[in-house]
Structure 1
Amino acid sequence: MAIGATVHVFDVTLADIDRGVYEDLTVRLARHPSETDAFLLTRLLAYCLEYDEGIALSDGIAATDKPAVSIMDATGHALAWIEVGAPDAARLHTGSKSAERVAVYTHRDPRKVRAALAGKKIHRAEEIVLTSFDPGFIDSAVETLERRNTATLSVTEGQAYLEINGRSLSSPLHREPIV
């Protein structure tokens, strides 16, 4: 854990009907002092929306050589490299060479994220999927954040339904190629 980090605990009931994933999770996220609440919440959503056997969280912004979320098989082979926010092209290039699949989850304007990557060298860029949410979705959820949080996340037909600390929100999962 990064020095000066604030730990947030999320008790999440996950029902991802689209993928057939149903889990009760307790997720501990260390928020580095330079990490925004929006980044923290997007990291949580990426973890839940990618949840699979072998999934792990890094130290977030403090982890300079690891993705925000990764999925490894039992042998240690990288199955997925999942970034959050607006990663630079070099991180995506490294991830794409290291893992079978790369994904990006962003709380930012996806057009700006794609524009910043346009024309940059990224291995298998056409295979990288950028997932974003409706404007205001993350900001509304962030308003409810506490050190200990309770959430229910349901996904059906590409729509995310999030109840966090008593507030109900929804957004389509906007998925598109990064380039």
Structure 2
Amino acid sequence: MALNSTIYKVELQISDMDRHYYATHALTLARHPSETEERLMVRLLAFALYADERLEFGKGISDEDEPALWRKAYTEEIELWIDVGQPDETRIRKACGRARQVVVINYGGNTAEIWWNKVGSALGRHRNLTVLDIPTDTVAEMVELLQRGMRLQCLIQDGQLQVMNDAQAVAVDPVKRMSAAEAVS
């Protein structure tokens, strides 16, 4: 018998001072049985960082041809491709060829460091690639916010995030390993 995905409902209120983007999103996140709570919360962080009316979750873990999140133009051109974790170099290269901007949000402590040491130098040639690291302790704090029904507020200013619910707040300070040569908004 196959396991079903776990569904999470999220009301995410975003105040992004850096991009002057203010909106509330009603999100439904499906957590695949093989997906960890950490990865789910990093996907939610990715949504908060790059929130847009057309940003949507891809099939991700269950479909290798789709990212964790993406934003398409009305012409179906992929404007933004976001992967989380440590995708292999081939996947990143393909994404950079298909999308105007590619973002990898890396997390996982030592595993993330090993991944970067392995692929970092090869990724330097991709001018439309940004790689961000989320510290392990921050991801653990984000998991503490996880509930099947969540109401979260996210304040973004100077590249830093503050994610809050009624009981606690988590400060998120992504570390840029690599920044795209051109910023696409």
The two structures share one fold, judged by TM-score above 0.5: yes
Greater CA deviation, 58-67 or 124-133? 124-133
Letter of the structure 2 residue corresponding to residue 147 of structure 1:
R
Matched residues, percent identical? 26
1:37 to 2:37 alignment = yes
Give runs of aligned pairs for residues 99-114 of structure 1, distance below 5 A.
Answer: 99-109=99-109, 110-114=112-116
How far off its partner does 1:114 sit? 1.4
Which residue, 104, 116, 125 being the options, matches 2:118?
Answer: 116
1:104-133 deviations in Å (ceiling 9; x for gaps): 11222343331231455x594354111123
Give runs of aligned pairs for residues 1-179 of structure 1, distance below 5 A.
Answer: 4-109=4-109, 110-118=112-120, 120=122, 124-164=125-165, 166-177=167-178
Misfit runs of 4+, over 6 Å: none
How far off its partner does 1:160 sit? 0.8
How far off its partner does 1:165 sit? 5.5
Is contact 1:127–1:177 with CA below 8 Å preserved after alignment? no
Is contact 2:105–2:131 with CA below 8 Å preserved after alignment? yes
1:128-162 deviations in Å (ceiling 9; x for gaps): 11112333111012023111111111110111101
Greater CA deviation, 162-171 or 4-13? 162-171
User: TM-score, with normalisation over the residues of structure 2?
Assistant: 0.86
2:118, 2:28 → 1: CA distance? 31
User: Is the partner of 2:18 in helix, strand or coil?
Assistant: coil
Q: Which runs of 5+ in 1 are unaligned?
A: none
Greater CA deviation, 48-57 or 61-70? 48-57
Is contact 1:54–1:74 with CA below 8 Å preserved after alignment? no
1:37, 1:167 → 2: CA distance? 18
1:71-111 deviations in Å (ceiling 9; x for gaps): 11111111111101111111101100000110011222343
1:56, 1:74 → 2: CA distance? 13
2:91, 2:124 → 1: CA distance? 10
Q: Which runs of 5+ in 2 are unaligned?
A: 180-185
Is contact 2:100–2:128 with CA below 8 Å preserved after alignment? no
Is contact 2:108–2:135 with CA below 8 Å preserved after alignment? no
How far off its partner does 1:64 sit? 1.6
1:116, 1:164 → 2: CA distance? 37
Greater CA deviation, 104-113 or 17-26? 104-113
Root mean square deviation, CA, Å: 2.0
